[in-house]
Amino acid sequence: MASDKLTVEDLLSFPALQLSVKAGGAGLGRSVSWAHASELDDPTPWLLGSELIMTAGLAVPATGAAQRAYLERLDDAGVSGLALSAQLHMPVLHDDFFRAAEERGFPVLEVPLSVPFIAVAQEVAAAVQEDARHRLGAQLQVFGSLRWLVAEDLDTPALLRRLERLSGYDVYLCTPQGRPLLPGVPVPDPSVLPDSVDAPPTVPGGFVLPVPAPGGPAGFLVAYEREGARPAGLAVAQHIATVAALRLAMVRNERETLRRQGAETLAELLQEVLDPEAARRRLARHSIEGETVLMVVRHTTDEALLHVLADQPHLLLTRGEDRYVLGAPELAEAVGTLPVAATGMSRPFRPGAALKVAQREAVWAASKAAESGRPVVRYGDDLTGRWLPDDPAVLSALVENVLGEVLRYDAAHDSQLLVSVRTWMERDRRTEAAAAALHIHPNTLAYRLRRFGTLADRDLASTGALSEVWLAIQAAGTLGLADRTV
């Protein structure tokens, strides 16, 4: 043989077989792992790839289109070539069949009637014994990869590179949607992914295998024969898929542990029970350093947030309907892609700083985002809110002085005086537009404005009173006292 791998061309050189090429001569370099006789119209579900299929003709359809489809099925399954017995039951082979073989470089051989198929199979079996010993050795070494995970603490890319060297394959991993499955491992061309996990594992030049996980496959492993290497076969590729599944479980467990620790850290930061130096050390463990912001995200789920944040460093804590996210300001771009979600972001601060002010800013900005329909509002974007003091005592005094009676009236009567005035002012005091937004008659809104003015002891026709009321409404929003929506 010209190389360590048995090829179709090598079989032509065996005098006892007397094989001849009828078509597809460009593919004579294809490797042969086995020779098997089949009279099935579609034997591909039972093939592993690199087989030489032998047929007496019963499997070959009668029409040109069907013959072409038969040949293409074999080629798509990674079959090395097709050996046809001369005479016997062979139908007339049409031009479509031969054109397909030439186009695809798929060898079509003829076996003389005097040479039984068993003779071809025996010659192939004898020739591949050395390759079988190589595959067994590779399998034993790849099976030892579980020990590497523990003893050498290899990261995922290093582990896969070692498996590639042993197996003779270039390995790719992806989710069922074609996204990265493990960090540092390239994804394959999505066109090679099967429609079903039950599809045959063989593809031209390699294998596509599901990566097992509880509840169904986590994704797919694609293994292509590497040029100049000796591929170790399907069993080794399957074991690599199992190793990938184990590594994925470890990565997910590490992420979940890190996420829980991050939630605990963020809870302690919000309670201000950590001193600045301890806070900085905790954040550094989560790769959070440099300029940092706190975000409050509403109308979404933990799963959706974790998906868009992916591998970006962050802490996530759920409190009721609010999701608190701490990380770099750039996270807002990813969070802003969430449909329906409303996100408020604090001003940047240094890691380890107290979060009470940042929390008030993020809560206020989230309320503004929900009111305006904007996906992200950054504290300070609002021309009025940026001038409010940070001291909650000062804000509370302003709200009590201007809106105290209104808030108590709304609570006692389940009315909407405050939200009505806020909506009216947000729409530049256009009564018709505000009434439409509130789904009430303009006369009803006019009554509410008068009632508000009486309770607040403020004349809304006065510029001074109007400014004071607007600032008080912004302060109430910062304190979370004006979150009622229409």
pLDDT at 173 over 50: yes
Instruction: Please say whether the dihedral angle defined by the alpha carbons of residues 239, 245, 250 and 251, taken in this order, is positive or negative.
Output: positive
pLDDT (0 to 100) of residue 462: 92
Report the DSSP beta bridge partners of residue 337. Answer: none
pLDDT (0 to 100) of residue 404: 93
For 108-128, write each residue's pLDDT tens digit.
999 988 888 988 988 888 777
Q: In the structure, what pLDDT confidence band is assigned to residue 440 with cuts at 50, 70 and 90?
A: very high
pLDDT at 430 over 70: yes
84, 90 contact by CB (below 8 A)? yes
pLDDT at 96 over 90: yes
Give 199: exposed, middle or buried? Use CB within 10 Å, 0-12, 13-18, 19+.
middle
Q: In the structure, what pLDDT confidence band is assigned to residue 484 with cuts at 50, 70 and 90?
A: very low
Q: Who has greater pLDDT, 443 or 129?
A: 443
Domain 272-382 falls in which CATH fold? Alpha-Beta Plaits (3.30.70)
The arithmetic mean of pLDDT across residues 91-103, rounded, is: 94
pLDDT (0 to 100) of residue 357: 84
The arithmetic mean of pLDDT across residues 461-476, rounded, is: 88
pLDDT (0 to 100) of residue 243: 86
pLDDT at 15 over 90: no
Q: Domain 8-127 in CATH: superfamily?
A: HprK N-terminal domain-like (3.40.1390.20)
* Beta-carbon contacts of residue 73 (< 8 Å; ≥ 6 apart): 42, 44
What is d(CA 170, CA 180) in angstroms, rounded to the nearest whole number? 16
pLDDT at 1 over 50: no
pLDDT at 206 over 80: yes
Instruction: Classify 105 as helix, strand or coil.
Output: coil
Going by C-alpha positions, the residue among 341, 333, 283 that lies closest to residue 313 is 283
The arithmetic mean of pLDDT across residues 37-62, rounded, is: 90
pLDDT (0 to 100) of residue 142: 60
pLDDT (0 to 100) of residue 165: 84
Q: In the structure, what pLDDT confidence band is assigned to residue 486 with cuts at 50, 70 and 90?
A: very low
Q: Who has greater pLDDT, 201 or 187?
A: 187
What is d(CA 436, CA 57) in angstroms, rounded to the nearest whole number? 79
Q: Who has greater pLDDT, 16 or 173?
A: 173
The arithmetic mean of pLDDT across residues 134-146, rounded, is: 57
21, 107 contact by CB (below 8 A)? yes
Q: In the structure, what pLDDT confidence band is assigned to residue 25 with cuts at 50, 70 and 90?
A: very high
Answer yes or no: pTM beyond 0.85: no
The arithmetic mean of pLDDT across residues 336-345, rounded, is: 93
For 307-319, write each residue's pLDDT tens digit.
899 779 999 999 9
pLDDT at 146 over 70: no
What is d(CA 197, CA 210) in angstroms, rounded to the nearest whole number? 6
Winning range, highest mean pLDDT, from 188-197, 330-339, 377-386: 330-339
pLDDT (0 to 100) of residue 84: 93
Tokens of 210: 């599901």
Edge-to-edge strand ranges of the sheet holding 202-203: 169-174, 219-225, 206-211, 202-203
pLDDT at 140 over 80: no
Q: Which of 132-146, 191-205, 321-335, 336-350 has the lowest mean pLDDT?
A: 132-146
- Average pLDDT, whole number, for the chain? 87
Domain 392-478 falls in which CATH fold? Arc Repressor Mutant, subunit A (1.10.10)
pLDDT (0 to 100) of residue 137: 54
pLDDT at 30 over 80: yes
Please provide residue 373's backbone torsions phi and psi, each rounded to the nearest 5 degrees.
Answer: 80, 5
pLDDT at 132 over 60: no
Distances (CA, A) of 117 to 23, 52, 376: 20, 11, 71
